[in-house]
C-alpha cells in the first residue's frame, strides 16, 4: 500500500512523523513504515491517524488500491453509523462496478456481523454484475446467531423468505429491497 497521501496530509499540517505518532497514539516506527510503504496498516490505526490529520480515513488509502470497499471498511472501523458507510459503498459499487474496488479484504477486526454483511453484499453484487467473487469472501464465516438486519420483529418472516442466498448462507436475513435506495 502506498501511503504517500499520509505524508502529504502530515506535511500540510506542519506535523513531523514523531508529532503525528504522538498525537495519534501510534508508534513512531509505524508512521515511518507507513510512509515508506513497507507496512500495511490496521484500519483502526488509519482511523487514529486520520482523526489527528482532520481527514476521513479513506483519504489516506485513496490511490492505494483500497477502492470503494476500502473506504467503507475504514469508515466502519472509525465508528459511527454503519448504515451510512455501507450504503455509500453499495452506491459507489453500482455506479462503477469493478472487481478491483472489492478485491482487497475489509479490516478483519470489524465486528463479525459487519464483515459477514460486507462479504454477503459483495458476493451478491458481483453475482448480479457477472464479476468474479473476490477470494476473501470465502474466508468470512456465517454468524453464530441469525441477524435480522431490519431489526423489526414483524418483518422477520418476510426476511426469511426474501433474503438472497449470499446473505442466508451467512445467517443474515434482509428484505428483498434491502440494497435498493429510493
Nearest of 18, 12, 143 to residue 4 by alpha carbon: 12
Question: Which residues belong to CATH 1.10.260.40 in the chain?
Answer: 4-60
| Cα–Cα dist 43/34, whole Å | 12
Mean pLDDT, 10 residues at a time, the chain of 182 residues: 65 88 94 76 82 77 61 82 89 76 83 96 91 89 96 94 96 92 56
Which pLDDT score, from 0 to 100, does residue 1 have? 40
Which pLDDT score, from 0 to 100, does residue 145 have? 97
CATH architecture of 4-60: Orthogonal Bundle (1.10)
Amino acid at each position: 500500500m502506498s501511503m504517500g497521501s499520509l505524508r502529504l496530509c502530515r506535511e500540510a499540517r506542519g506535523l513531523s512523523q514523531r508529532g503525528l505518532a504522538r498525537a495519534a497514539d501510534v508508534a513512531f516506527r509505524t508512521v515511518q513504515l507507513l510512509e515508506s510503504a513497507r507496512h500495511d496498516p490496521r484500519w483502526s490505526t488509519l482511523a487514529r491517524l486520520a482523526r489527528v490529520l482532520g481527514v476521513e480515513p479513506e483519504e489516506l488509502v485513496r490511490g492505494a488500491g483500497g477502492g470503494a470497499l476500502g473506504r467503507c471498511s475504514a469508515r466502519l472501523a472509525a465508528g459511527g453509523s454503519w448504515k451510512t458507510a455501507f450504503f455509500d459503498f453499495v452506491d459507489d459499487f453500482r455506479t462503477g462496478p469493478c472487481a478491483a474496488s472489492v478485491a482487497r479484504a475489509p479490516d478483519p477486526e470489524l465486528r463479525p456481523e459487519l464483515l459477514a454483511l460486507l462479504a454477503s453484499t459483495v458476493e451478491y453484487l458481483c453475482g448480479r454484475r457477472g464479476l468474479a467473487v473476490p477470494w476473501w469472501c470465502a474466508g468470512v464465516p456465517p454468524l453464530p446467531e441469525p441477524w435480522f438486519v431490519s431489526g423489526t420483529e414483524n418483518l422477520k418472516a418476510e426476511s426469511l423468505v426474501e433474503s438472497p442466498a449470499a446473505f442466508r448462507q451467512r445467517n443474515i436475513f434482509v428484505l428483498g429491497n434491502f440494497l435498493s435506495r429510493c
